[in-house]
Structure 1
């Protein structure tokens, strides 16, 4: 076996970025591809890359490296050495793959963009919840059907306080589904079970902002399992109500995963909600779920799906309702991601004009939070995607001034996006100052949406690393990432 040649280019990039191996590993795990594929990079893997022991990482890692460095992987000293039986994965990687389940050498997994990886629960992936004094570590794992469960000691107390119990160490696989297991549904006492589930959902929605998505997901998934069990023996009006309840829980679960930064899981649960909306024969619900799919696709950078889902939603609903406003907003951002300024601004203007004359539907009361401030926040985000950073800064500043104190997570998202716009107009000190405020909120709420924006910003600010505010932000972000992972 030939002696390994050190990868000088990769090490040089890391050192110039002022990152330790551990810090770079955490950034890879928190990158868009790292979250998408559930990567579990560590200091040892970085060492192997820099030592030249691995000349061509597996495809998910290649994507994540590019996300972090903004360089083609070949420009960082990597090169394919030998074509193996898996196509572009070289033989040395197939034989020396470190399994994310065990850390031992084994066979590589195969990943697809929007399909949850097969197999039993895998890996200790991204953990964005803070570890408390009592060791309340949050460890995500994936079941065979793509569902995610996050285990936490301290969360047990929370769930028991709600009377929910705990869902267990892992979710059943597709082959041993909750229905097949025929586990008895617990007693609801004198309370109508449908009303019980409605009340529990209100509690979970109310606590989402306070506790963060990782602490709420297991409880939501447990309720979905229980509702599905009840549907098996229900008929008529009860059956229809349970279908809509399961839809609402599934959509909420998708939102939680979206905020946790796991877009594949978010789309998985939103797809379940879409299926249930067809079972409910409710075109408004179907349209609403399509706007959610468009929003998730936009967050994931998938402009084509964002546009297609928004246009599909628009075709299903009345021309002057709130769902039309949402559809135009998400279509506008999709066009902005694609770089089509004319169509993007046209959709955003349409959304604004529609809101001014919106006709409320008494039978559909969703999106009550949709107001002019929300539209302007989405406009600012789209302008930033189009490269109009100056107008984006102005837009975000106007919106931030109107955010209610209770909407801490939304404030953090807007601040993180404002900071990126400041970097775009070469205002590094202001970008770092705003980003530091957003970082505090990200730590409070466990929102990966905020954290991922800040990690992107950190890369953009590297050229100004000597600016004191930038250095302080980088240090604070690095500390937060390591602490949470």
Structure 2
């Protein structure tokens, strides 16, 4: 071999940068960033997650051989996670591109559940923009693609929420019942690592959302709030006090307000605000302010409502 010549990697073997240990280290770093998101919030984790994704994609361009598919799978999960962080911080256009990338990489990895997760997250993004028909269609496509129980459950319940928002009461309740059945029969072994948080607790919270969307009476709103609160209470503390769970607390508070429970609604808003005061979460703080305004309209002379308004300002 002449001086200055580069030795090309042998066909069928991975480059030194994408050995099994290196790929699993990248996956472990991604898992740690997910846990950091639970503890400190999306805005704080976003820069490091984007840098990590860029590094994985560079390695994937160079990778050859046996570990390319596994590296593509990690890249898909990292793209999905970065998309989630962008969604949580209000950067929806960037989130959409990242979810599309996650879908392509999931297909490249030959992993139906990663591809289905990317479709589900595209459906979640449609929900944030108010396109509930697209939310339902993408969620159904994800449920049909998924082979793992948790992945299919996520998509199925999300379709149920879309149907509830579209006013399809019976179909929405049927979807959440199907989601409960799928989750109960599954093992979770085949689900992507990013679904570490998903179980009966979160499904109960999502049932609460559906009940809140469909509620027409104080008793129905109270049942919705209780379903959400019950799911939150069943979480371990690290998840219970996360930024994204704070959003569910706000939805429970909104339902309690509609049920006529001013004090309980304020308790939920205070708890959510306490979490977000340390993590940021400006989108959810805006939701808190919206729910507070509805309480203030209903109870304009309630002293605790007024004092919480001062705290928000």
TM-score by length of 2: 0.83
- Say yes or no: does 1:465 pair with 2:294: no
How many Å apart are 1:225 and its aligned residue? 1.9
Give the conservation status (yes or no) of the 8 Å contact 1:212–1:446: yes
- In 1, the alpha carbon distance for the partners of 2:109 and 2:307 equals 52
Pair 1:367–1:233, CA change in 2 (3 A): closer
- In 2, the alpha carbon distance for the partners of 1:207 and 1:314 equals 28
1:16-415 equivalences in 2 (<5 Å):
193-318=22-147, 321-358=149-186, 360-362=188-190, 367-387=195-215, 388-407=220-239, 408-409=241-242, 410-415=244-249
- Say yes or no: does 1:419 pair with 2:253: yes
- In 2, the alpha carbon distance for the partners of 1:376 and 1:455 equals 25
* Greater relative contact order (Cα < 8 A, sep 6+): 2
Pick the structure with greater CA Rg.
1
Out of 434, 443, 449, which is 2:277 matched to? 443
How many Å apart are 1:309 and its aligned residue? 1.0
Pair 1:203–1:342, CA change in 2 (3 A): same
Give the unaligned 5+ runs of structure 1. 1-186, 479-485
Secondary structure in structure 2 of the residue aligned to 1:236: coil
Give the conservation status (yes or no) of the 8 Å contact 1:420–1:457: yes
Pair 1:452–1:335, CA change in 2 (3 A): farther
Secondary structure in structure 1 of the residue aligned to 2:195: coil
- In 2, the alpha carbon distance for the partners of 1:354 and 1:265 equals 32
- In 1, the alpha carbon distance for the partners of 2:191 and 2:229 equals 35
How many Å apart are 1:248 and its aligned residue? 1.4
Give the unaligned 5+ runs of structure 2. 1-15
How many Å apart are 1:439 and its aligned residue? 0.5
- In 2, the alpha carbon distance for the partners of 1:274 and 1:233 equals 20
Give the conservation status (yes or no) of the 8 Å contact 1:209–1:445: no
- In 2, the alpha carbon distance for the partners of 1:267 and 1:450 equals 20
Give the conservation status (yes or no) of the 8 Å contact 1:283–1:316: yes
Q: Counterpart in 2 of 1:143?
A: none
How many Å apart are 1:268 and its aligned residue? 2.5
How many Å apart are 1:378 and its aligned residue? 0.2
More helix by share: 2
Cα offsets for 1:156-213 (capped at 9, x unmatched): xxxxxxxxxxxxxxxxxxxxxxxxxxxxxxx98x995434422322332222222211
How many Å apart are 1:375 and its aligned residue? 1.1
How many Å apart are 1:250 and its aligned residue? 0.6
Secondary structure in structure 2 of the residue aligned to 1:379: helix
Pair 1:359–1:205, CA change in 2 (3 A): closer
- In 1, the alpha carbon distance for the partners of 2:269 and 2:157 equals 25
Cα offsets for 1:304-333 (capped at 9, x unmatched): 121111110122234x72222222110011
